[in-house]
Structure 1
Amino acid sequence: MRKVLLAGVPQSPNLGDGLIAHTINQLISMQGKHEVVHFDLLHGLWEDEQMHQPLAAVSGGSAAGAFAAAAVKPAAQARLNEAGTRKKMTPDALRRLKAYWLHRRKDPVMNEQLRRAVSEADAVYIGGGHLLIDTYWTFPLAVRRVAMEAKRQGKPLHLLLVGARGPWSRQAQWWLLEVCRIAATIAVRDEDSKKFLLQLDPKLASKTVALADPALYTPEAFNLAIEPEGPAEIELSPAERVMASGTGAVRQRVIGLGIMDPNEMNRHCEHRWEREDCAQWWSDAAQAIVSSGSTVRIFTNGAGTDNAFVEQYVKPLCKGNPAIELMPYPATVHQLVNSIAGCDAVIAQRLHACMPALSMNKPTYGVIWDKKLESIFTDIGLGSHLIDFRVPAEQAVLAAATTISRPEAYVKAMKRKKQELLEHMGRILP
């Protein structure tokens, strides 16, 4: 059996990164028997006992079972990321020096683990996720560590389903382009990432392809049924909405709201959204959905700052409404997927709250913030499903609350993207 080393950030508190590890594993398993060894870029060797278990085996087939099967993140432990005066006044140079010091401090443990893992692997993969970014040198240093060890031992290196975005500092650009030049192949997950890399080095064009996010394989990774495609547009009639909102036999639709701390926008994009305004927008969205005859399920991707934002800002505004369910904060990828699987449609801001829902054929709407979300939605024919948070919530969520929308372009694009992912994996596996 061939062995491959997959380096990413599966231990990130944002469970979307763990989902990426699960779905890449699924893609590899669909190409025959391979042993996958996981290496977290920031923490070292990693193993997940639930990696190859279907959702039903962990949860007993219910969302409640998923959260009962493993500990959830206590609300009391959730802390908001802050951007106080001290942090704002810290020069970028000092942040980079701190990242470099932390990186070098891990050398004795990380380098030995990596040396051994690379020596036992037939090929090395770095991915997926938004890894080709300059987080004050943290990711450039970590990605380069793996690439240079693969080069030293003469093992084939592939950049797999990664995102790339600037700005890069001069030193980060040197390191990351060095990694790209070492790699045998580069698969990015959206056209914008490809365009960004080729602007920096046009010579990378011959080995760079734009594919999709591996989370499109969520149903296969967790043995979930995919909802039927149905017609392109199925709108609920006023009578159906009245029946759904009453006590009749029509089941109320469950609309999932995947909420993120808006402070992440301040850190990663040009948009600004104050926490009080953001919480009110989501509360208004929930109330509008309930008024349309559906129920609401609020969830997060497990990041501590998202959990704290919901706990401290959103929860008080929604308290007491029986039609609004606040899910426990997930501690495992299975819990995250189960929260989403129980929804009929999803409105979310984090990419890996949207991608699992899209993969299950659920009507999915992304709230704009980071260009990666906009780019990926556009690539799969869902540009019309982007929601602008600057539009009043009642108006913004109307389509999601009343329409089961599966644009024809998306259905075709998803099938094509999934096939391209599978074929690419087949080409680069040993």
Structure 2
Amino acid sequence: MLLNIEIKGVQFSNKGAELMLEAILQQLDVHLGEYHLTLSPGRNLPYVKRAKLGAWQKLSFRRGKLDLTGILAKLPTKIRNFLKRYGIVTEADVDVILNASGFAYGDQWPMADLRNTAKEIKRFKALGKPYIILPQALGPFQREELKEFAEVLINDTALTFARDDTSFAECEKLNKSNKLFQSPDFTALLEVQQFNTTEQQSVCLIPNNKVVSKFNHANAEQQKNAYFDFWIGTANFFIDNGFFVKVLNHEGKEDRDICNAILEAVDNEQIALIDGLNSTEIKALIGSCDAVVSSRFHGCVSALCQGVPCLATSWSHKYEMLYGEYGLSENVIDFGLERQELTNKLNHFLNDLTNQASVCLLHAEQVKEQNKKMWQQVVAIIKS
């Protein structure tokens, strides 16, 4: 009987989350060949796109503290078999859960997310089914009310992978098991078809609405003007140096609004909006560019792992940790730099592209080897 594997924390609107889904599917295809895939319905996981992947639709219900998912799993077998005719399964039909939430558990996120995940982990542990936390940013867990659920996340899973040094250190404070490991973002392994390139040098600019979202930073909205000035100054710099500027919408309407504002302000024939690509097309596009400036984490990953020099602006520790892995810590910059400071930084970056590409590729090979080791551990658990 084929294993039924549920993948959680992924979606189609956020292209980083979609990229993680594609990366997981590619590895499951390699290591397992045949299996059943399950995805839960969601606003950013519409039925049509789930159906194209041949995914079972999971029957679940969560509203605040009310979580009926475990109860629905206790439906009689006859009813569950009937639901399968319509492509619907319950938690009882799932053999393995792979959680690829990216960055969803810690002090800055709603407690309900971690609480519901902890309950799910306990249910799977009681049934002897593996629940695996794939590499992601975790913590901090300073809020007392979070620690109980964080301990479950770290100790009651089959495997938990923290993505970086800071995340691992936060998890280690609560670790009482031998199931906690560290491994970098796993999308580096995802192979994509090469994108058509032009003779003219190009740079890809990838803004992120979260950088100036009050949800993530109390004073973020006051920084909006500085953030727009950063992108306008960066776009003009590369245009002045003979580059074609591709402003990429990496996620939804809010990012698109920022992209359009940049294009309107720069108003040059050497700049264009890139929109409507899926995650693998985005990675291929990034791989075709000569340089990238990104506020999106997976925009940075997709550049670095393909040897494309990339500057980043940061809104969480995961950026600094990523660039430490790739030996380019100085490439995480402050978008609030004065114009001359920004110009100096961009000039240094531009003059160092060849060396940076070599550094990226060297570290990318190391990251990919760690990715392979992580998947060996995951597959061993799935097959056990």
TM-score range, shorter chain: 0.7 to 0.9
The CA deviation at 1:175 is: 1.5
Deviations 1:132-166 (A, max 9, x none): 22422242134224313312322022211121022
Partner of 1:362: 308
- The yes-or-no answer on 1:217 pairing with 2:167 is no
Decide which of 63, 77, 92 is 1:102's aligned counterpart: 63
Partner of 1:170: 144
- The yes-or-no answer on 1:189 pairing with 2:163 is yes
Partner of 1:243: none
Partner of 1:275: 224
* C-alpha distance in structure 2 between counterparts of 1:299 and 1:421, whole Å: 27
Report if the CA contact (8 A) 1:327-1:339 is conserved: no
Report if the CA contact (8 A) 2:72-2:90 is conserved: no
Q: Partner of 2:264: helix, strand, or coil?
A: helix
Report if the CA contact (8 A) 2:138-2:168 is conserved: yes
Identity among equivalent pairs (%)? 16
The CA deviation at 1:16 is: 1.0
Deviations 1:340-380 (A, max 9, x none): 24422211011011111222221122123311111111123
The CA deviation at 1:262 is: 5.5
* C-alpha distance in structure 2 between counterparts of 1:405 and 1:117, whole Å: 52
Q: Give matches, 1:8-157, under 5 Å.
A: 8-11=8-11, 13-35=13-35, 37-40=37-40, 48=50, 102-104=63-65, 107=68, 111-112=72-73, 116=89, 118-134=91-107, 135-157=109-131
Equivalent position amino acid for 2:315 in 1:
W
Report if the CA contact (8 A) 2:283-2:302 is conserved: yes
The CA deviation at 1:324 is: 1.0
Q: Give matches, 1:343-358, under 5 Å.
A: 343-358=289-304
Deviations 1:316-355 (A, max 9, x none): 2022x01111223x36324533542442221101101111
- The runs of 5 or more residues in structure 2 that have no matched partner are 55-60, 81-88
Partner of 1:417: 367
- The yes-or-no answer on 1:203 pairing with 2:176 is yes
The CA deviation at 1:32 is: 3.6
* C-alpha distance in structure 2 between counterparts of 1:420 and 1:125, whole Å: 18
Change (3 A) 1:376 1:113: farther
TM-score by length of 1: 0.72
Deviations 1:28-70 (A, max 9, x none): 2232414252434966897646669xxxxxxxxxxxxxxxxxx
Q: Give matches, 1:323-362, under 5 Å.
A: 323-328=270-275, 330=276, 332-362=278-308
Report if the CA contact (8 A) 1:257-1:347 is conserved: yes
Q: Give matches, 1:309-324, under 5 Å.
A: 309-311=258-260, 313-319=261-267, 321-324=268-271
Partner of 1:89: none
Report if the CA contact (8 A) 1:346-1:363 is conserved: yes
* C-alpha distance in structure 1 between counterparts of 2:291 and 2:46, whole Å: 36
* C-alpha distance in structure 2 between counterparts of 1:341 and 1:122, whole Å: 36
* C-alpha distance in structure 1 between counterparts of 2:116 and 2:122, whole Å: 10
- The runs of 5 or more residues in structure 1 that have no matched partner are 53-99, 228-249
Partner of 1:5: 5
Partner of 2:235: 286
* C-alpha distance in structure 1 between counterparts of 2:302 and 2:357, whole Å: 17
Partner of 1:68: none
* C-alpha distance in structure 2 between counterparts of 1:51 and 1:373, whole Å: 31
Equivalent position amino acid for 1:214 in 2:
F
Report if the CA contact (8 A) 1:41-1:143 is conserved: no
Q: Partner of 2:343: helix, strand, or coil?
A: helix
Q: Give matches, 1:188-267, under 5 Å.
A: 188-199=162-173, 201-204=174-177, 206-218=178-190, 220=191, 222-224=192-194, 251-261=199-209, 263-264=211-212, 266-267=214-215
Cα-Cα RMSD: 3.4
Q: Which has the higher contact order (CA 8 A, sep 6+)?
A: 1
The CA deviation at 1:167 is: 4.6
The CA deviation at 1:260 is: 1.4
TM-score by length of 2: 0.80
Change (3 A) 1:23 1:305: same
Equivalent position amino acid for 1:424 in 2:
M
Q: Partner of 1:163: helix, strand, or coil?
A: strand
Equivalent position amino acid for 2:331 in 1:
H
The CA deviation at 1:123 is: 2.8
* C-alpha distance in structure 1 between counterparts of 2:211 and 2:97, whole Å: 35
* C-alpha distance in structure 1 between counterparts of 2:13 and 2:139, whole Å: 21
* C-alpha distance in structure 1 between counterparts of 2:213 and 2:319, whole Å: 12
The CA deviation at 1:383 is: 1.1
The CA deviation at 1:104 is: 4.7
Decide which of 228, 232, 244 is 1:295's aligned counterpart: 244
* C-alpha distance in structure 1 between counterparts of 2:95 and 2:125, whole Å: 13
Change (3 A) 1:36 1:355: farther
Equivalent position amino acid for 1:212 in 2:
P
